[in-house]
Amino acid sequence: MFSYRHAFHAGNHADVLKHSILIAIARYLTQKDTALTVIDTHAGAGLYRLDGDYAQTSGEAADGIAKLIEVHAHTLPEIVRDYVELVNEFNPGAAYSQSSTPKVYPGSPFVLQRLLRQQDRLKLFELHPTDSKALAANIAQLEAERQIAVLREDGFGCVTQFLPPPSRRALLLCDPSYEIKTDYARVASLLAEGLKRFATGCYAIWHPIIPRPEAHELPRRLRTLTNQAGRPWLHATLTVKSGKDATGLPASGMFIVNPPHTLQDALKSTLPQLVELLGQDRNAAYTLESTTH
């Protein structure tokens, strides 16, 4: 269960989708003065080197963040531009040019930390022994012990610890590796428990789109659970390649419960452009579904 390392995949097309949406959600939620509790169930190491051995082995960032860096800022949709600018903050001197591919890539803990305010709190879960040690060391550099908690625990147990939060405002990001088949059922169970304990929280769930029955079934289960709770949801997917010759991860999605009301319109203009920018074959596509109650 400890074989997965996100360092191999940092900055790929799935990270582009996940982190662009995550930034848009966090920016919206921090417009209100009331404190926000943010929970990252599978935080990883927090920071990654795109010029390191892991990332160089897979080369996935070349078809993700690197392609966006090559594009002039004013041509990018707003939520993607915000994402690229945040990544560039971790790479001093980086600019929108072909020679400035970032060397440092922020994972979701550092993406979120950059957006939170003094009154907000960040809870980071990571069970992998190597990644949790790296995460703790990376976070320690921020000297933000009062704001950020790093827990070497199973993130699927986070709901009962921290929901509902005292401020009654929370964002939960869940993006496990899904290397273990049981992760799919555990994600659904986490959302079910979360909605039972704190129905008004914002839940952002990343999932891979791969030829596996559990992967196909998960979005349907999430929709059913959310509809039963009477809450609005939004589901965005990005496919960069498909077909029998497509290797690696061909597509992924983000399922958001209680999404910001501005997010759907933003994604309507963003997703077609991501298909153009990141598509690897003629089968590249996107979907955007939602419901409101």
Q: Report the catalytic residues.
A: 175
pLDDT of the residue at 54: 65
What's the order of all strands across the beta sheet hosting 148-151?
A: 148-151, 121-125, 37-40, 170-174, 202-209, 251-257, 233-239, 285-291
pLDDT of the residue at 72: 82
**Proportion of the chain in helix, strand, coil states, percent, rounded to 5:** 45, 20, 40
Q: How far, in Å, CA of 94 to CA of 100, rounded? A: 5
Ranges under pLDDT 70 in the chain: 1-5, 54-55, 57, 94-100, 243-246, 292-293
Q: How far, in Å, CA of 22 to CA of 18, rounded? A: 6
Q: For residue 243, give every residue at least 6 positions away whose Cβ sits within 8 Å of its Cβ, in sequence order, or none.
A: 281, 283
Cβ-contact 290, 245 below 8 angstroms: no
0.85 cut: is pTM over it? Answer: yes
pLDDT of the residue at 96: 47
